[in-house]
Amino acid sequence: MTDNTSRTAAAATAGKRVAVIGAGAAGLCAARHLLARGVEVVVYEIGTCIGGLWVYDNDNGMGPAYQSLHLNSEAKVTAYRDYPFPEDGPLYPDHRKVRQYLESYAERFGVTPHIRFKSRVTGVSPLGERWRLKLQDGDGGDFDAVIVASGHQSIPSHPEWRDQFTGEYLHSHTYRIPEPFRGKRVLVVGMGNSAVDIASDICVVTESTTISARSPVLVMPRMLFGVPTSRVLGKLERKWMPWPVRRTIREVLTRIVHGRMEQWGFTTPKSRTHPTSHPNLMSHFVWDRIKAKPGIASVKGQEVQFVDGSSQTFDAVIAGTGYSVDLPFLAPHLRPLEGHRLELFLRVVHPSRRGLYFMGLFNVAGGGNIRMMDDQAEWIGELILGDLRLPDEMQMRMVMEEEQAFLRHHYPGSPRYALELDPTFYRAQLARERKQAGKRPSISTTSAPGVASTT
């Protein structure tokens, strides 16, 4: 780096102050990359713990971790790019080890001293070319940029028939241990990772466990030939392969281990779906501890009628029906979701407000969420420090529509897939944006606050 370049970089960094909301995996990553470049960072965390959703009984009141929670993706491909999990650790660490990992990451990169615990953000508003943060205790401050990294698994999304069920009802968000369901007839709704974890967890103590799968699902084995299935797929699949070929590979491998999905009461998907796997789920089907039923048609009292015409009576329902993104500290026009559509440029940038960024609003299809955060944090850092220039709002919305078209073409249209992210497609989008960014003229600061224009 030349002296002129060094002076330019130092000038760009000098005086930059950034607020990060949330001390989970995304917030820690954002802070780490900014601190490495000399930016002043303040991380605001509601509770007293580092680790977000990986903290069991987190005192921030928003943690969904249950006692048996483990990573669903292999530690090796989940970890931050430059900070691996301990080599002598398990392939799929539990929530305790993930929490320890995140705490050690924060210590290693000097993030911990920059975290303000017990700090609930109640307002984020534009202030000219800067942003003002307000806290519940009346404190706050002004910043050059704000990064929202508060997660998307804190506000449960409930089924519309919730009030019609008169038995015991809870969302997977509040589930912790199986013992309260001993001897009961339990219906688990959904086939997401939490739902299959919980069904496998409780079925050893219940009178009966039924899992309702509204949509087609491929329950892939967690391990193949003594290694994680993702490694096997990495050897067999190629980027140039069309999706039908990849789907066939996955169906064949699954059939070898689990048989056909239809023999267990499921439907094999013909489009892309979010991966589902569990080391013991299908064994419980073999042992008749879990049975599958299709989607729910209606609920009356404790009786649930399914779309196949059958009905059963249940003592309890556990709804693994996902979450709603709720950011109450943002005014409605600043929130990133319109219905179930994510209105952000490359999942990060508010298209009409410079300096407001979002991290971690995704569910990675076939990979680890934590690893993807490095990609977002590096890009945000480049934007904040002026290394890269954003396109105007019209161009951003064109790219956003391109991604929406990709999602509509490849994934089901249900709310569950609003935050689905294909890592190959997304990284290609980021790489293309970086190439184009250097060709753009500088952004004028004479336009309306936070709105882009070019000169």
Residue range 43-70, pLDDT digits in tens: 999 999 999 999 999 999 888 999 999 9
- CB-based contacts of 203, cutoff 8 Å, min separation 6: 209, 284, 289, 290
- CB-based contacts of 63, cutoff 8 Å, min separation 6: 52, 53, 55, 56, 57, 154
Tokens of 228: 């994680």
pLDDT at 7 over 70: no
Q: Residue written as tokens 């910043």?
A: 143
Nearest alpha-carbon partner for 28 in 404, 439, 454, 376: 376
pLDDT at 386 over 70: yes
pLDDT at 2 over 50: no
C-beta separation of 35 from 108 below 8 A: no
C-alpha to C-alpha distance for 55 and 405, rounded to whole angstroms = 36
Q: What is the DSSP letter of 294?
A: -
Handedness of CA 289, 180, 221, 238 (dihedral sign): positive
In three-state secondary structure terms, 288 is: coil
Q: Residue written as tokens 């709720």?
A: 326
C-alpha to C-alpha distance for 418 and 323, rounded to whole angstroms = 11
pTM of the predicted protein model = 0.89
pLDDT tens for 211-243 read 999 989 999 999 999 999 999 998 998 888 888
In sequence order, the β-bridge partners of residue 301 are: 165
Give the Cβ contact number of residue 434 at 10 Å: 14
C-alpha to C-alpha distance for 128 and 130, rounded to whole angstroms = 5
pLDDT at 449 over 50: no
If 0-12 CB within 10 Å is exposed, 13-18 middle and 19+ buried, where does residue 392 land? middle
Measured at the CA of 170, the angle between CA 118 and CA 318, to 5 degrees, comes to: 125
C-alpha to C-alpha distance for 419 and 365, rounded to whole angstroms = 10
Measured at the CA of 41, the angle between CA 29 and CA 64, to 5 degrees, comes to: 45
C-alpha to C-alpha distance for 166 and 208, rounded to whole angstroms = 18
pLDDT at 397 over 60: yes
Amino acid at 341: R
pLDDT at 14: 54
> Pairing mode, if any, of strands 311-313 and 316-319?
unpaired
If 0-12 CB within 10 Å is exposed, 13-18 middle and 19+ buried, where does residue 123 land? middle
pLDDT at 239: 80
DSSP per-residue codes, 200-247: HHHTTTSSEEEEE--S---EE-SEETTEEHHHHHHHH--TTS-HHHHH
If 0-12 CB within 10 Å is exposed, 13-18 middle and 19+ buried, where does residue 254 land? buried
Tokens of 279: 């080391």
Q: Which of 80-89, 127-136, 199-208, 433-442 has the lowest mean pLDDT?
A: 433-442
pLDDT at 324 over 50: yes
If 0-12 CB within 10 Å is exposed, 13-18 middle and 19+ buried, where does residue 115 land? buried
Residue 309, CA atoms < 13 Å, CB-side half-sphere: 0
Tell me the angle at which helices 369-384 and 423-437 cross, rounded to the nearest 10 degrees. 10
Percent of residues, the chain, with pLDDT higher than 90: 71
Q: Which of 196-200, 415-419, 440-444 has the lowest mean pLDDT?
A: 440-444
Q: What is the DSSP letter of 442?
A: P
State phi, psi for 131 to the nearest 5 degrees.
-135, 140
pLDDT at 9 over 80: no
C-beta separation of 119 from 135 below 8 A: yes
Question: What average pLDDT does this structure show over 239-251?
Answer: 88
pLDDT tens for 346-374 read 999 998 888 999 999 988 876 778 999 99
C-alpha to C-alpha distance for 311 and 294, rounded to whole angstroms = 11
Q: Where are the alpha helices (H) located in 237-287, listed in sequence order? A: 243-258, 281-286
> Pairing mode, if any, of strands 121-127 and 130-135?
antiparallel
Tokens of 66: 């249950």
pLDDT at 4 over 70: no
